[in-house]
Amino acid sequence: MSVRHAILGLLSWQPLAGYDLKKIFSESADFYWSGNNNQVYRTLLDLFEQGLVEREIIQQENLPAKKIYTITDKGRVELRQWLNTTPELPLLRNSFLVQLAWADCLSAAELDQLLNRYEEEIRDQNLMHNARGPQLPAKNARSPREAILWSAVHQNRAKFYQTELEWIQNLRMDLASLPEKDELKG
HEC letters along 112-136: HHHHHHHHHHHHHHHHHHHHHCCCC
**pLDDT in the model for residue 73:** 97
The CA distance from 125 to 131, in Å, is: 10
Q: Grade residue 90 by pLDDT with cuts at 50, 70 and 90.
A: confident
| Residue 103 DSSP SS3 | helix
**pLDDT in the model for residue 156:** 87
The CA distance from 156 to 30, in Å, is: 9
Judge residue 160's burial from the number of C-beta atoms within 10 Å of its C-beta, 0-12 exposed, 13-18 middle, 19 or more buried: middle
Whether 184 shows a pLDDT value over 50: the answer reads no
**pLDDT in the model for residue 186:** 45
Bridge-partner residues for 67, per DSSP? 57
Whether 139 shows a pLDDT value over 70: the answer reads no
Q: What angle do CA 170, 172, 173 make, to 5 degrees?
A: 65
First to last CA, the chain: 42
> Is 0.85 surpassed by the pTM of this model?
no
Lowest mean per-residue pLDDT among 22-26, 41-45, 135-139, 177-181: 135-139
Look at domain 3-83 and name its CATH class.
mainly alpha
**Mean pLDDT score of the chain, rounded to an integer?**
86
